[in-house]
Amino acid sequence: MDSEAPSTSSPNPRPTAAPAVPASAPMSEGTASGEDPGCSPVDSWSLTTGSSAASVRLFRSSRSYALRHQRRSESPRNCRGTSRRRAEPWPERPSGRSEQERESHARRAIVNRWRQGSEAGEAPMTGGSGDLRLWGFDDRVAGSAEDGARVGRVVQVDRGECDVVTAAGMVRAGSDSVRAQAETAPVTGDWVQVTSRHEVLIGRVLPRLTALTRRDPAERDAEQVLAANFDIVGIVAGLDRPLPPGRFERMLVMARDSGAAIAILLTKADRAPDAAAAAETVRAVAGDVDVLTLSARYDLGLDHLRSRLGPGRTMALLGASGSGKSTLVNALAGAEVAETAAVRASDRRGRHTTVARRLVLLPGDGGMVLDTPGVRALGLIDAQDALSRVFSDIEEYGRSCRFADCAHGAEPDCAVTAATEGGEMDPRRLQRFLALRDEVEQQRVREEQRARAAARGRR
Ligand SMILES: Nc1nc2c(ncn2[C@@H]2O[C@H](COP(=O)(O)OP(=O)(O)OP(=O)(O)O)[C@@H](O)[C@H]2O)c(=O)[nH]1
Ligand SMILES: [Mg+2]
Ligand SMILES: [Zn+2]
């Protein structure tokens, strides 16, 4: 963190941004107690930055998560706790029975549904409460499933079990222990194949089209997938608190790396003295990204957001605790489907209210939002390309450096440092870029060392 004064306007508007947020202090997700670096008032963003629309090279060719994973196999990760449990429909809860009776009734109901499905052939993918088209089922998903497989979408993951929406309705599915030993663990948003003999199990996770990934906070070199198969990442930030540019840049890199489109959602516009100016400042760092100012409380801007969704489309929300993600979900859903809680009055920090990632179907064929717990750790993993795109202005200057492999440090005739010295670029943006680049590079080196050690072990 630093506490530099806001930068002054540059005569030659270039993307500039204010105080550096140490890239070495990534944010983590969903613990009840943790600090929320990047939200300190000293990180407040200068509102005097220039417009950058013309100077930021637009991001066009997305190297999607899916493509990346053609060359890098996913870390085998188990669903936490792979205990098998019988299928339970959800949220079916017949009243007036004992707990035990209710459970056996529920089991019978779901087993019968599955029996009907197998006797009468595969249940239709469309029509009825489990209409999978509403949940985004399309030819791409159909094409990646095995012939005759039963397909469903993971709505929530809980201690190794998942709520999965299938053509036959919502089911509770365990993970196949054999599968879990060696293959991809399901995450919210995944399309999966389910089997149902005595219990419903997830047999296979279909290839992901997009995914939000980060370095696993518990396992330094492992990748953790937060959510999958969304069309848009909604980066959520509340205008009731400072907007630290380092946090935005980190989330932008992650979102770029996911392969999906990006929208920045500036919530709590009713709390901002000048929401339009804040949006301009964010655009200066975000470049070619949709920036919306919203107020869930006063229904401002929500129609703009709805217009980006629509039938079968999914928006995954990413943002700090207390930024208003769940409030937004409720406003879009038109009902209290997600728990929310007031931020701390002293520093506007959230209370980590949401604890699970959950896919919420919006009414009126309005698509889906994927609510997530507030993030604190956002360690980047294998995100070199996304980093270059988010800092495309630096890449552009870099083309004029004397050395093609210039690191933009002490090299002579470095066009990037010249740009900072000449006031065309905020030096703090360069500092943040260099810190993120080091983080990604160090992680890559560790990954290589690990792969070499593993190869030696196999010999
Ligand atoms: N004034 C105002 N307050 C809002 C708005 N949106 C959310 N809030 C408030 O912000 C607080 C936090 O909102 P949540 O929706 O719980 O935040 P969250 O991002 O889901 O937080 P976590 O679940 O902890 O990650 C609540 O008190 C909301 O009422 C808004 O548009 N205007
Ligand atoms: Mg929440
Ligand atoms: Zn250089």
Give the integer Cα–Cα distance in Å for 22 and 81.
Answer: 35
Cross-strand bridge partners of residue 228: 211
Instruction: Note the pLDDT of residue 68.
Output: 56
Exposure of 193 by Cβ count < 10 A (0-12 exposed, 13-18 middle, 19+ buried)?
buried
Report how far ligand 1's centroid is from the alpha carbon of 272 (Å): 14
In this structure, the residue with its CA closest to atom 6 of ligand 1 is 324
Q: Which of 29, 35, 265, 340 to mutate to test the pocket of ligand 1 (most atoms within 8 A of CB)?
A: 340
User: Phi and psi dihedrals of 192, rounded to 5?
Assistant: -135, 160
In this structure, the residue with its CA closest to atom 30 of ligand 1 is 268
Residue 151: in which H helix or E strand, if any?
A: strand 150-158
Report how far ligand 3's centroid is from the alpha carbon of 186 (Å): 42
Instruction: Note the pLDDT of residue 411.
Output: 94
Instruction: Note the pLDDT of residue 7.
Output: 32
In this structure, the residue with its CA closest to atom 24 of ligand 1 is 352
Residue of 289, 285, 329 whose CA lies nearest to 309: 329
Same topology, domains 1-64+210-459 and 99-205? Answer is no
* Ligand 1 close to Cβ of residue 297 (< 6 A): yes
In this structure, the residue with its CA closest to atom 5 of ligand 1 is 268
Q: Which of 266, 326, 327, 369 to mutate to test the pocket of ligand 1 (most atoms within 8 A of CB)?
A: 327
Report how far ligand 2's centroid is from the alpha carbon of 445 (Å): 35
* Ligand 1 close to Cβ of residue 296 (< 6 A): yes
Ligand 1: nearest atom to the Cα of 355: 23
* Ligand 1 close to Cβ of residue 354 (< 6 A): yes
Give the integer Cα–Cα distance in Å for 92 and 89.
Answer: 6
Phi-psi region of 153 (alpha: psi -120 to 50; beta: other; left: phi over 0): beta
* Ligand 1 close to Cβ of residue 38 (< 6 A): no
* Ligand 1 close to Cβ of residue 293 (< 6 A): no
Length of the chain: 459
Q: Which tokens belong to 198?
A: 């005595």
Give the integer Cα–Cα distance in Å for 250 and 123.
Answer: 43
The answer to whether 404 and 412 have CB atoms below 8 angstroms apart is no
Instruction: Note the pLDDT of residue 276.
Output: 93
* Ligand 1 close to Cβ of residue 340 (< 6 A): yes
* Ligand 1 close to Cβ of residue 268 (< 6 A): yes
Give the integer Cα–Cα distance in Å for 383 and 347.
Answer: 32
Phi-psi region of 115 (alpha: psi -120 to 50; beta: other; left: phi over 0): alpha
Report how far ligand 2's centroid is from the alpha carbon of 351 (Å): 9
Mean pLDDT of each 10-residue bin along the chain, 459 residues long: 31 34 40 32 30 27 48 36 29 40 45 38 48 93 92 90 91 69 81 86 92 82 89 96 89 94 96 92 88 95 95 96 96 92 79 90 95 86 88 94 94 96 94 93 86 82
Residue 70: in which H helix or E strand, if any?
A: helix 65-71
Residue of 220, 194, 178, 213 whose CA lies nearest to 122: 194
Question: Where along the chain do its domains lie?
Answer: 1-64+210-459, 99-205
Quick one: angle between helices 427-458 and 245-258, nearest 10?
Answer: 50
Q: Strand locations in 159-271, DSSP E?
A: 161-166, 169-175, 191-196, 200-205, 211-215, 223-228, 232-238, 261-267
Q: Give CATH for domain 1-64+210-459.
A: 3.40.50.300
Q: Is the dihedral of CA 404, 409, 413, 416 positive or negative?
A: positive
**N- to C-terminal Cα distance for the chain?**
46
In this structure, the residue with its CA closest to atom 27 of ligand 1 is 342
What is the number of the ligand closest to the CA of 343?
1
Cβ-Cβ contacts under 8 Å for 177 (sequence gap 6 or more): 82, 84
CATH fold of 99-205: OB fold (Dihydrolipoamide Acetyltransferase, E2P) (2.40.50)
* Ligand 1 close to Cβ of residue 341 (< 6 A): yes
Give the integer Cα–Cα distance in Å for 123 and 239.
Answer: 46
Report how far ligand 3's centroid is from the alpha carbon of 416 (Å): 5
Exposure of 131 by Cβ count < 10 A (0-12 exposed, 13-18 middle, 19+ buried)?
middle
| Percent of the chain as helix, strand, coil, to the nearest 5 | 30, 15, 50
Report how far ligand 1's centroid is from the alpha carbon of 152 (Å): 31
Report how far ligand 3's centroid is from the alpha carbon of 419 (Å): 10
